[in-house]
Amino acid sequence: MPLRLAIIGTGFIAQYHVRPDADPAQSLFPDGEAEFVAVVDVVEERARAFAEKYGIARYYTDADEMLAREKPDIVNVATPPALHASMAIKAMEAGAWVMCEKPLCSSLRELDAIADAEARTGNWCSSVFQFRFGSAARHLRRIIQDQVVGKLLVGTCHTTWFRDAEYYAVDWRGTWASELGGPTMGHGIHAMDSFLWQMGDWTEVRAMCATIDRGVEVEDTSSATVRFASGAMGNILNSVLCPHQSTYVRYDFQRGSAWTEGALYDLNNERWRFETLESVDDKTRERFQTIVDDLPCTHVVQLRELVADRLIGRQPLVSGPEARRTLEFITALYKSAYTGEKVERASIVPGDPFYESVGGSWAEAAKKGSSS
């Protein structure tokens, strides 16, 4: 029997959860290991049209009803951000594993509730971070772990995208309450997640945030310096003000550098460059430069891995503590920018406004401002 998949929220991003990567005629699961059986959207017409377009048997306007009737094995959550945690928890309680769009939740408190639901139900909630699933990311991970060209010393992670007034005209965007942050939480989160995963445990962050040129409540730019347990340092920039849109990520090792400049989301093999010092021998250089497979950074690649995980009961990559790494970092970045102080890992605990919401005091100040 194929695993039963369902998707909640059939807006813009949902198509990427169900669409095969390259050839639309190709099946998402050619070996029949899973199939989408239902979709949900509060806008009935959207749900109906989506189900029809992708040949999915049933559509609903209520997530609880869908969960009770369909009993899916995996639920993809693609609603606006503020609903993610509650949807993920109810799906796990109904017996499903979850692949939830980023940002996974709105606070460390919600993250703890998700972790609690994972422990209670025995089901896993995996955050969509498709950048970790391409072959280039897996290659880099091996290169770093095996120290092929020495230790990783310095990292750069820049998400410099462009989002204009039309983008912010969508009602849930631009506010702390519903978008949960600006480009730090919404856009740079992808590159930062893969970057923090590659660089290893972070220990402290110093940051600045500003709303320079968009009429929104959240930041439109953030910049951070981060220190890692290994002693390495990293530099992070997130902005939605940059007409030359790019995602630039770079890793500098003792004897070589690897970097990519992708157009937004496509940090795939062909975008990566690998250079070594001349003194590096040919065999080592070849290992450093040769990416074995050619899987792109897509939702579908992540979903296929999740299906394989569920079939053998293996914990998915971006769940549990791996989901915490990035959300805790972003929370610390916002806190550092607000307080002007460095923020250390594991220092944000219950009682801290930044534990209650990722935007912490920024979000509280915005709420006060809008009610006065």
Ligand X SMILES: NC(=O)c1ccc[n+]([C@@H]2O[C@H](COP(=O)([O-])OP(=O)(O)OC[C@H]3O[C@@H](n4cnc5c(N)ncnc54)[C@H](O)[C@@H]3O)[C@@H](O)[C@H]2O)c1
Is residue 303 close enough to count as binding ligand X by CB under 6 A? no
Closest separation between CB of residue 274 and ligand X, Å? 25
Q: Which is nearer to ligand X, 8 or 88 (CB)?
A: 8
| 278 SS3 class | coil
Q: Which stretch binds ligand X (CB under 6 A): 36-44, 210-218, 224-232, 364-372?
A: 36-44
Please, what is the end-to-end C-alpha distance for the chain in angstroms? 57
Closest separation between CB of residue 60 and ligand X, Å? 8
Closest separation between CB of residue 79 and ligand X, Å? 4
Tell which one of 41, 110, 217, 219 touches ligand X (CB under 6 A).
41
Task: Mention every residue, 6+ apart, whose C-beta is less than 8 A from residue 205.
Answer: 224, 225, 226, 227, 329, 332, 333, 336, 342, 343
- Structural contact between residues 96 and 76, judged by C-beta atoms closer than 8 angstroms: no
Q: Which stretch binds ligand X (CB under 6 A): 34-42, 119-127, 148-156, 320-328?
A: 34-42
190's tokens: 């992808």
- Strands 202-210 and 221-228, bridge-based pairing: antiparallel
Is residue 7 close enough to count as binding ligand X by CB under 6 A? no
Q: Which is nearer to ligand X, 42 or 153 (CB)?
A: 42
Is residue 56 close enough to count as binding ligand X by CB under 6 A? no
Q: Which is nearer to ligand X, 40 or 295 (CB)?
A: 40
Q: What is the DSSP letter of 148?
A: B
Per-residue contact string for residues 136-175; x = within reach of ligand X by CB under 6 A: ----------------------------------------
Q: Which is nearer to ligand X, 9 or 256 (CB)?
A: 9
Is residue 256 close enough to count as binding ligand X by CB under 6 A? no
Q: Which is nearer to ligand X, 13 or 366 (CB)?
A: 13
Rounded Cα gap, residues 114 and 120, in angstroms: 10
Tell which one of 9, 134, 155, 256 touches ligand X (CB under 6 A).
9
Closest separation between CB of residue 99 and ligand X, Å? 10
Rounded Cα gap, residues 225 and 83, in angstroms: 31
Q: Which is nearer to ligand X, 13 or 241 (CB)?
A: 13
Residues from 64 through 123 that contact ligand X (CB under 6 A): 78-81, 83, 101-102
Task: Mention every residue, 6+ apart, whose C-beta is less than 8 A from residue 79.
Answer: 8, 9, 11, 87, 101
Long-range contacts of 89-94 (CB under 8 A, 24+ apart): 89/113, 89/114, 89/117, 90/63, 90/64, 91/8, 91/63, 91/67, 92/117, 92/118, 92/121, 92/123, 92/124, 92/125, 93/117, 93/120, 93/121, 94/67, 94/68
- Contacts with ligand X, residue ranges (CB under 6 A): 8-13, 40-43, 46, 63, 78-81, 83, 101-102, 128, 186, 265
